Structure formats: structure tokens, C-alpha cells
Amino acid sequence: MLFLTTCGTTKLFDIRSTWHSGWWTSKFAILVITLVFSFFIPTDFVHLYGELARVGAGIFLILQLISVIEFIAWWNAYWMPDDRKKQRLKLSLIFHIILDSHHQSSQNSNTLYMLCSSCCGLFMSTLFYMASLCGILVMYALYASKLSCTLNIFFITWTAVLLLVMMAISLHSKVNKGLLSSGIMASYVVFLCWSALRSEPANEICSPQKHDNKHVDWITVLGFLIGVSAIVIATFSTGIDSQTFQLKKQEYQMEDDIPYSYGFFHLVFSLGAMYFAMLFISWNLDSSTRRWSIDVGWASTWVKIVNEWFAATIYLWKLISPIVRQPKIMNHEEPMQQQQLQDSD
């Protein structure tokens, strides 16, 4: 309902903007009414919503992946200077060494900033790759300690292969994106693989988690609360990152323009609610889950594994897409240049 009533809002003084940021008493009353009404919904409709929630949860995962990859690209661009900036940095250092100039404080500060950002980027790249390597080794020790754990061995080995492929492509001379973005993405992919292995049922022989159904320890409850909090933060951050998903970027923003798309914000929260529902039932509409467990089961495991592979695919395509599209752009520009030359003649 909030998505439908706030979609298309562009100005802060619009009545729909006031509805988005206010009217909390009315919103709370509507929330209570919908909660009471949900207990009287027929079972068939609940099952239909479950099927719809599966699709919505998948869309939410895709939006979250795109938002994470855009954040990684921003971090890499902020900390790792491009080739032109590196060349200017080298020339500036040589210039200061030869002339020993002390009066150009602004240039010194810019040079120092670029040097520090490069060192920080190199340090963080090493840190992320070390963390990824340690994660791979720990997963082998915990989830693939036996040769019979062929599926887990495949998951972990394929994750390691993805790390090598991402690092090799990012360091290719035609791509030249450095190690920071691929290092962050490597850690994220390893985390997704670990999360998928952790979602395997506890009674599996390859799972180190042996739970007693009658006993719930504080670690399980704490893990449940941390998982819920992480999903809420991810939903909120994705919801306000509407500019990432705009096909046409807005270059200039007026003072009375809204800071983000309210409609997209509520749409992401509705998709996030569907994702919450899938986590609580472990993506399985026909069986119940253990108390205080979240996102546990083979369905959850495969959803996370596919999510990991899809994340690596999107990142690799983001790396190679400029190279793939460059010949098409050049072929398209050549006839236009020839036409301009003919017109000038």
C-alpha cells in the first residue's frame, strides 16, 4: 500500500512525501488491522502468497547483490586511483624530489592523500584475500573433512576457482581494476559459501553442527538475532540506494527534490518482508522449521549457493562488459564520423 501511494513522488512538499515521513498514528492503526486480519486469511491464499514470496525474495536477493557490487565499485574507485592519477602521482613525487619545493601545500596534500589511499587500498586488498584464503581452508576443515562429503568439496572448490578467476580478470591489462574490488568480492563470495554450508541440516554427516531439538543454547538465539538484524540493515541500505537502479541518472538535484525514491524504498521493504518469510520457513512451504532456527535446510543451502554463483557472474560481467561493448561502440561511431566528414565537405 505504501508503495502504491508514494510511487512517483519527486518533491519534498508533495502530500505523498508527508505521508511517507509522517502519519505514524494512522500507519500503526493500519498495521494492527492488517495483523488481526491475517489470522482470518484462508489457507489457500496463504499458500498462494508463499509461492509469490519465493519470487519476491529472489528479486530482493538480486537487488541486494547489485547494491553490494556497486558499493564495492565505489570503494575501489575511492581508494585505488586510476592510471592517470597514478601517473600524476609519480610525476608529482619526482617534481618535489628534484626541486624540493615546500610552498605548494595544496599539491603536497593531494599527493599525500593519493599515496595514503593507494597504501590503504593495497593493505585492504591483502587483508581481504588473506581472509578469503583462511575462509576456504576453514570450510575445508569443517565441512569437507571426509572424502564422502563430495557436494561440500565441490561447493568449496568451485568457490576457490571463482576467486582465482575474479583475481585474474581484474588484473588483466585490458580490465586493470586492481586487487581491492576483487578482494572484497572474494570475501563476500566466501561468506555466501560459508552461509550456504551452514544452512545444511544439522543431522547431515558432513555438518559440524549437531543440534539437539530439545535444547536451544544462547549461541543459537544470538545467531538468530544477528541474522535478523543483518537482513533489516541490508533491506534498509538497499531501499535507500535507488539511484543505483535508475536507467537514467539524474545529474542535478534541486533543493526540493526527495533524497531517494520513496516508492522504490517501500517496494524493497515489501520484497524484504517476502525474503524474511522464506527465511523463517527455510524456503520450504510444506514443512515447519525448528524453533529459533532461521534459514536452515537444503532449499536454503541451494538458494545461497545459486546466489553466490550469480553474484560472481554479475561481478565478472561488470568487469568485462566495457571490453565486450567497446567494439560495438566503435563500429557505431565510425559511420557517424564519416557522415560528419561528408557533411562538412
pLDDT in tens, 30-87: 888 888 888 888 878 878 888 888 888 888 888 888 877 877 777 777 766 554 454 4
Provide φ and ψ at 12, rounded to 5°: -70, -30
- Segment among 105-109, 266-270, 314-318 with least mean pLDDT: 105-109
pLDDT at 226: 62
Asked whether residue 227 is assigned to any structural domain, the reply reads yes
Asked whether residue 84 is assigned to any structural domain, the reply reads no
The pLDDT tens digits of the residues spanning 215-273 come to: 445 655 665 666 666 666 666 666 566 555 554 555 555 666 666 677 777 888 888 88
pLDDT at 212: 46
- pLDDT at residue 2 above 80? no
pLDDT at 91: 46
d(Cα 62, Cα 83) in Å, to the nearest integer?
A: 32
Task: Give residue for cell 524493497.
Answer: 268
Provide φ and ψ at 249, rounded to 5°: -75, 145
- Supply 248's cell numbers: 537514467
The pLDDT tens digits of the residues spanning 172-219 come to: 878 777 778 888 889 989 988 988 888 887 666 677 765 444 444 565
Asked whether residue 209 is assigned to any structural domain, the reply reads no
* Average of per-residue pLDDT across 17-35: 81
pLDDT at 154: 94
Provide φ and ψ at 11, rounded to 5°: -115, 150
Asked whether residue 229 is assigned to any structural domain, the reply reads yes
- Supply 18's cell numbers: 508527508
Task: Give residue for cell 551452514.
Answer: 198
- pLDDT at residue 160 above 90? yes
- Name every residue whose Cβ is closer than 8 Å to that of residue 275 and which is 6 or more positions away in sequence: 53, 56, 57, 60, 61, 231, 235
The closest of 227, 300, 240, 290 to 268, measured between CA atoms, is 240
- pLDDT at residue 103 above 60? no
The pLDDT tens digits of the residues spanning 275-298 come to: 878 877 777 777 665 655 666 778
Asked whether residue 97 is assigned to any structural domain, the reply reads no
pLDDT at 214: 46
pLDDT at 125: 82
Using an 8 Å Cβ cutoff, are 297 and 198 in contact? no
Asked whether residue 141 is assigned to any structural domain, the reply reads no
pLDDT at 284: 74
Task: Give residue for cell 486480519.
Answer: 37
pLDDT at 71: 79
The confidence band for 18, taking pLDDT boundaries of 50, 70 and 90, is: confident
Higher pLDDT, 97 or 286: 286
Q: Which structural domain, as residue segments, surrounds residue 234?
A: 1-66+220-281
Asked whether residue 3 is assigned to any structural domain, the reply reads yes
The closest of 157, 165, 167, 166 to 136, measured between CA atoms, is 157
The closest of 178, 159, 162 to 72, measured between CA atoms, is 178
Asked whether residue 192 is assigned to any structural domain, the reply reads no
- pLDDT at residue 137 above 90? yes
Task: Give the HSE-up count for residue 169: Cα atoms under 13 Å, Cβ half-sphere.
Answer: 21
- pLDDT at residue 345 above 70? no
Domain count across the chain: 1
The pLDDT tens digits of the residues spanning 164-177 come to: 999 888 888 787 77
The total of other beta-carbon atoms located within 10 Å of residue 75's CB is: 15
Higher pLDDT, 103 or 337: 337
- pLDDT at residue 95 above 50? no
